[in-house]
Amino acid sequence: MSRVARDLSLVAGGAVLARSGPAELRPLPGEIGERWRLPAPLRPTLSELFSTHPRDGGWAGFLTAQIGRDKPLLWIQDRMAILESGRIHPPGLFTQDLIHVEARDARDALWAMEEGVRCACLSAVIGEIWGDPKALDFTATRRLAVAAERSGTPCWLVRLGGTANLSGARMRWRIGSAPSLANSFDPRASGLPAWDAELFRARGLPPGRWSIAHEGGEADRFHLVARPGDRALGEGERLRA
């Protein structure tokens, strides 16, 4: 992740990550109006992302909102990920500098990811792998994490239809699409995209689960839109978010 953290408007409890030095654990704040930051690693490394459903592509918006836009992006998909979940659509991305690699299998995808993550001229490396292939073991993920930390290039391993087995990833997310927020200009149109985001493992940080939405443009930040455990948002809450 090239940008270590992003400001969020607090509507629900969460954890705070220090700007520098070792990760700082603080009690979960509970007062509306406090400020906090999206949990993020202290430096670029390997993060892992699981979709709550293999064919829920909402994770892509959550991920790309955290990637820098000043360098080319390398996006790798193994053949099964393309067949089961679809090929990426470059015109829908935020960058024109996209390098797309279609790998024959998970082994080739992991090789391409490791080669790419060693390059400091990339904004990030994203790799989509389907299922639980034998090549994707702890050693492979550990190699990606070490390479990313040495080069300073963030790496995201997207697990589609996979299980959260042993991994060397420093942060592990589970992302599911949520209903978009209400559009203040047109009630019949969709508003900001939203997700149910669960951080179930992170070095130096407690786990957490949040309902969040992303505001693009100049603001370019996430918002918490529901309290933990409250999955139903009333119309008033949506309009205030």
What is the count of structural domains for the chain?
1
**Encoded tokens for 218:** 């100049």
Closest CA to 30 of 48, 46, 12: 12
Q: Over its length of 241 residues, how does the chain's per-residue pLDDT go in tens digits? A: 433 333 333 233 333 333 333 334 433 333 333 444 678 888 999 999 999 888 888 899 899 988 888 899 999 999 999 999 899 888 888 777 899 999 999 999 999 999 999 999 999 999 999 999 999 999 999 999 999 999 999 999 999 999 999 999 999 999 999 888 888 788 888 788 889 999 999 988 888 888 888 877 666 677 777 655 444 444 444 444 3
Is 67 inside a domain boundary? yes
Is 147 inside a domain boundary? yes
Contact 66, 6 (CB under 8 A): yes
Is 33 inside a domain boundary? no
In whole angstroms, how large is the CA radius of gyration of the chain?
A: 18
pTM over 0.85, yes/no: no
Is 30 inside a domain boundary? no
Is 229 inside a domain boundary? yes
Is 24 inside a domain boundary? no
- The three-state secondary structure class of 109 is helix
Q: Which domain holds residue 94?
A: 43-240
Is 11 inside a domain boundary? no
In DSSP terms, 111 is beta-bridged to: none
Q: How far is CA 45 from the centre of its chain?
A: 13
Helices (H), the chain: 59-64, 79-85, 106-117, 138-151, 235-240
Closest CA to 14 of 25, 31, 29, 35: 29
| CATH code (residue 216) | 3.40.50.300
CB neighbourhood size of 21 (10 A): 7
CB neighbourhood size of 55 (10 A): 10
